[in-house]
Structure 1
């Protein structure tokens, strides 16, 4: 059993703590949060220790792995401290909002023989994983186009908007990672457009956007189109399409059930979409942790690296530059 500490008792920390507690490969030893009541509340609910000092927990001899679900500006510091202590790390995205800081962290990790995985959970969604497997099996021939739609059910709180680094770095960054993964090549050109349509006053206050589209191209000519919105009134809209020389793969939205209703007034009436990422990607979070613990236990490479996080952040920065200049940006 891999003895694990979860750093952060907020929303994502609670997700990880619950998944670790349910894992057959790991033991949740402690949850850590500077807000003592938050740590205690989560620890009591799950059945583990609570602590307030992450560095003290990282240094403990009874901890083998650390999951970092703390605010973004703490990720690099905690990651490097854990690696120095010989602890395996699963870190939430992004590594940092400053790509120079990310590059320096990657440089420091180069000669360290400690597993460090970045938490791009959508790769582990069962439907997305099946899509990647179908591509690898040649079911649709050569990939030509990837189309990704990701729309949230509503604007996040103002505090989140203020600290997120902007829609490209906190929301589209998942789609940049999925694009790289599904295309099988690095994008070399980025063209983006962005608008303030959902909450103009709020996003303008923080020089951000709430509605964006991105078009990317690889060196071989493969294309990707991403579209995001902070507010879809019908729910959490998550769809992906991969078009190839011999066919197409479509990853559609999930609903609570597959039941459809027909009557004299309506046909094809479905249940609403799953409400938010916690429900939509519950299986993905669990599979992500199992992949992490599996790599740690077997000594095999982790499936998602800090470099993947660096590349997704770089694409986010290129998209923002494209919005501000109105030009195609070379990656």
Structure 2
């Protein structure tokens, strides 16, 4: 069994705590958070121990891995501590909001030789994975256009948005990663547009709530990603790939799968009320994939370098909105 510590006991930390405790290949040992009471609640609920400090975790010689779900501004520091301690690490995106800091952190971690994975959990959505299989096996021929949609039902709290890094780095980055993963290619240019329509006040700190990103691949293929923070019809996530021999779609998913017919009326389910209900199973699946990599002593499914590439696309998208031009994506480490 892989002995794990969880760093971060907020909402997403509580999700990971549940999955760590439920995974049969994991011995869930420690929980740490700056908010000791919050960490203690999770530790008690899932049978782990409360760590009073990070030092207590990183000095545990029996530990195998850490799950870093702390505040974004601490990801890079905690990755470096894991590297120093020789512990494998699964980290929430981004590695750091500042791309240069993220790059230096990746270089530092790679020199240590530990296995480290960025938690782009949407890769473990069953429908998205089946779409990728159709694309990568040539079932629809040569792909010319990829369409990806992410539309949230409600605007996150403004206090969260202030520190999120903006829509391109917080929301769209998952779909930049999916575009790379599905096609097996790195886009070379991005042209993005963004507006603050639902909450004009977020424009004061440079954020948007509605955006389109157009990606150009070296072979001429295109991808278009639309992201919306607020809808009135539920959480809408879907992907469509158009190829020379056909089209494959990972469809929007309803919250239920039963339709009732009565007389001339038909009642069916709408979409999930929030993003978490739609993608919740992917969190357990991504943890399982990481644990299997540790158990089998092989490379993790999503390396830190891949996380950097998606962040580089997000950075270029932000530049494009500011410049009004297409921007070249710089992947240099």
TM-score range, shorter chain: over 0.9
Q: CA deviation at 1:214?
A: 0.7
1:95 and 1:143 mapped to 2: Cα distance? Answer: 31
SS of 1:5 mapped into structure 2: strand
In the alignment, the residues of structure 1 paired with residue 248 and residue 238 of structure 2 have an alpha-carbon distance, to the nearest angstrom, of 11
2:136 and 2:182 in contact (8 A); partners too: no
Task: Measure, in 1, the Cα distance between the counterparts of 2:28 and 2:193.
Answer: 43
Matches within 5 A, 1:1-331: 1-201=1-201, 203-263=202-262, 266-267=265-266, 269-331=267-329
Q: Is the 8 A contact 2:147 2:241 kept in 1?
A: yes
Cα distance in 2 for residues equivalent to 1:255 and 1:43: 34
Q: Cα offset for 1:254?
A: 2.2
- Contact persistence 1:8–1:70 (CA under 8 A): yes
Query: Aligned pair in 2 of structure 1 residues 253, 325: CA closer, same or farther (>3 Å)?
Result: same
Within 1, Cα distance between the matches of 2:264 and 2:37? 52
Note if contact 2:132-2:183 (Cα within 8 Å) is conserved in structure 1.
no
> Matches of 1:52 and 1:130 in 2, distance apart?
43
Q: Partner of 1:110: helix, strand, or coil?
A: helix
Q: TM-score, normalised by structure 1?
A: 0.96
- Pairwise CA distance, 1:274: 1.6
Contact 1:121 1:284 in 2 (8 A): yes
Asked whether the equivalents of residues 29 and 49 of structure 1 are also in contact (C-alpha less than 8 Å), the reply is: yes
Superposition TM-score, scaled by structure 2 size: 0.95
Corresponding pairs, count: 329
